[in-house]
Structure 1
Amino acid sequence: MSEQDQVDDPSARRRTDYPEIRRITTRWEDEDVYGHVNNVVYYSYFDTAVNGYLIEATGTDTRQLAAYGVVAETSCRFLRELRFPVDVEAGLRVTRLGSSSVVYEIGLFQGDAESPAAVGRFVHVYVTGDDRSVTPVPDVVRAVLEPLAV
């Protein structure tokens, strides 16, 4: 596989490709009738990993900032099943840090697997006020995202 193919192919990712790893405990209710974590739960894991990181890394409740990130886009490439009761590890990296938006890539890993079970794309656009006017990413947020940029 060429280097460009690896960039374009999320299944080629490894844990070491993600500068931040967050542990998420799976729950009984995460599994569906088919015996695997339901696809909608993967999106909850993305949200939990990104926002948990932002709150811990900034040392502030980001919901209290004047500008906050709203999710403008999400997608997921499902590569294999996740199962309860094994914890999930979410790898975070930032693939684009713009003036008012952030594009995250999240790899979901389980057990000792070095390759992800799923790879997600998660886009925050920063807004302010009741009218949700687009505004720059707050400096405190930008500072903790820069080390995750690839």
Structure 2
Amino acid sequence: MSSKAYRPRREDFRCFYTLGTRWGDHDSYGHVQNIVYYSFFDSAISHFLVEQGTLDIDSSPVIGLIVESSCTFLSPITFPDVVTVGLRISHLGNSSARYELGIFRNDESEASALGYVVYVYVDRASNASVAIPEGVREALRRLVD
């Protein structure tokens, strides 16, 4: 973890979700495990889409599949920290969207981690790439950086 790397601030993001760490999230060094950060990303994106009414987990005919993701760890998070995940969209294409996410520890103004997740939208039945439905696109535009 590097404290000298670029650390986005809360104001760099458009929407936020707060999640708690759990006792089992940390490793033997006392840091939240790397895989948990990806769970924070996925939870924040899913919360946003469900709240916007653009994702019915059981029956949406078009769904977003993660095709690429990355996380840069900037400073540690530990239990019992509270994390806030900030979201923004850095690219909104015809059938894909790139979410950028910042993870903020407790009330800190600089991110403890910065990541991205690329979704490609597909027809649920055929798994074929399709254009992002207009309702989803409209919701995602609210996050465009």
Q: How many angstroms does 1:64 deviate by?
A: 2.1
TM-score (norm 2): 0.91
User: Aligned partner of 1:85: which letter?
Assistant: P
1:75–1:59 CA distance, 2 compared to 1 (3 A): closer
Asked if 1:31 corresponds to 2:44, the answer is: no
Matched, 1:52 2:47: yes
Corresponding residue of 2:69: 74
Q: Distance in 2 between matches of 1:59 and 1:129?
A: 14
Percent pairwise identity: 39
Counterpart for residue 94 of structure 1: 89
Looking at secondary structure, tell me which structure has more helix per residue: 1
Root-mean-square deviation over aligned CA pairs: 1.7
Any gaps of 5 or more consecutive residues in structure 1? Answer: 1-8
Partner in structure 1 of residue 104 of structure 2: 109
Structure 1 window deviating more from structure 2 (18-27 vs 100-109): it is 18-27
Superposed displacement of residue 10, structure 1: 7.1
With normalisation by structure 1, the TM-score equals 0.88
Aligned residue for 1:65?
60
Which segments of structure 1 move beyond 3 Å, counting only runs of 4 or more?
A: none
Is the counterpart of residue 147 in structure 1 residue 131 in structure 2?
no
Tell me the CA shift for residue 63 of structure 1: 4.5
> Is this contact kept in 2: 1:74–1:121, CA < 8 A?
yes
In the alignment of these two chains, the number of paired residues is 142
Write the distance in 2 (CA, Å) between the matches of 1:113 and 1:93. 18
Structure 2 stretches lacking a partner, 5+ long:
none
Do the aligned residues in 1 keep the contact of 2:54 with 2:135 (CA within 8 Å)? Answer: no
Aligned with 1:137 (options 129, 132, 136) = 132
